[in-house]
Amino acid sequence: MEEQSAIPFLDGLPDALLAPERLLVLLGLSFFLGLAFEEYFGARRLKAPGGVRTFPLLALSGALLYALMPETALLFLGGLVVLGAWLSIWYWHRLAIQRDEPRIEHEPGIRLDGGIMALVGNLIAYLLGPVTLTQPLWVPVAIAVAAVLLTGARERLHAFAETVGGGELATLAKFLIVIGIVLPLVPDEPVTDITSITPYQVWLAVVVVSTLSYASYIVQRFVTPRRGLLYSAALGGLYSSTATTVVLSRRARAAGAVPALHAALVLSTSVMFLRILIVVAIFNADLAVALAPSLMALLALGLVIAAALYWRRDDTQPNAADEVLPPSNPLEIQTAVIFALLFITLSLAVGWANANLGEGSLFALAALAGITDVDPLVLSIAQAAHGSAALSLDAAAILIAASSNNVLKGVYILTFAGRGAGAVPALALLALAAGGIVAVFVTLGLA
């Protein structure tokens, strides 16, 4: 005969529902949630239901009612209805007090309970019971931790909401559209024999570049908004070193030959090498390994030059290094479309040139692409998967494009900053371009 449990109604339950460690986790999480609840409502005039005793009891009640009838959970749902009715009565009483005594809202040190936080806290405590019994333990832990963090972050979250505003929400909405709506709808089949890159890969490239730019924008906008010129120049280099160069060059024309601005110009371009390596690594790890020594050497060279220029600064001009770059919106739909068109054009050009003009034509194409935008060419090469035999050629082409782009930025500096204020950083960028050409010869084994 099959062995039966000492408690008849527990027979047939899954072992997970009877595991003692789950009950211990449930008690710990509900007590943890109750502590945060007590702290949040401690300064309120009207004591909210719930706390370090009530929440563990609610959690145990939810777990017990679910365990008694796990197939249909009717007992658990009945308990939820009772809890909801009780909370509704309390909330109605709270509204009545607030309506009768509105003046207490303005008395210092005295507040009412705080909206529906009490209701939500009690419901979460009750729901933790069946969740802890039936789900992987990381699920209730994550729920409890998120609830505690959100409970204690009221003032910070409200301040953040006021800082964000409607413009930032629109930016986030564009980011979600680019990632969550457009990308799944794009077909993943080649549309031409010239290149193996699919429309899905095209938009995936847009997503990757947009994500990197948006992350840089978020850090610059909210994490380090007042950390100084060099911080914003480095983050601007992750977003777009060309756009950052133009902004800094215009500032240099007004400020003159300020070493801090010169260092920021070189720093933003140096960070570009790190950005290229990150983008390539996402799509082609082998190519990233082939590029890493050259790009890291160029990054180190750029950082040394930037540091040397910064140390030449005049301490009598401290404001130049304290002024930060205003971050710009990196998720304009027009910008994403232009990037996608450039990516498609360069992908077709690379495929056609390799098929009809030979692999050497890739270098000329890379030099031309560098005067527009490096990322489309980098991504088209990284996704084309030319094979291990062509890794050195692909790496050399990317280095040529980066060097060409540095020459272009040197021209921008002289154009927007003028010869007097822009000669030093322009020469520094030409030195980085020359270093890139040396890296090309080393990569091809010609040095």
Whole-Å CA distances, 275 to 271, 283, 354: 6, 13, 26
pTM surpassing 0.85?
Answer: no
Q: How many CB atoms lie within 10 A of CB 134?
A: 17
Does the pLDDT of residue 192 top 50, yes or no?
Answer: yes
**Pick from 3-12, 80-89, 216-225, 425-434: least confident:** 3-12
Burial of 198 (0-12, 13-18, 19+ CB in 10 A): middle
Over residues 30-58, the pLDDT tens digits come to 898 888 888 777 655 556 777 888 889 99
Backbone angles phi, psi at 111, to 5 degrees: -135, 155
Over residues 107-161, the pLDDT tens digits come to 444 455 556 777 888 899 999 989 998 888 888 898 888 888 887 776 676 666 6
Does the pLDDT of residue 361 top 70, yes or no?
Answer: yes
Over residues 125-137, the pLDDT tens digits come to 999 989 998 888 8
Domain borders along the chain are 8-152, 165-444
Over residues 165-187, the pLDDT tens digits come to 556 666 667 667 766 666 777 76
Confidence band of 190 (pLDDT split at 50, 70, 90): low
- Whether the CB-CB separation of 263 and 307 falls below 8 Å is answered with yes
- Whether the CB-CB separation of 213 and 243 falls below 8 Å is answered with no
Which pLDDT belongs to residue 69? 85
- Whether the CB-CB separation of 171 and 222 falls below 8 Å is answered with no
Confidence band of 431 (pLDDT split at 50, 70, 90): very high
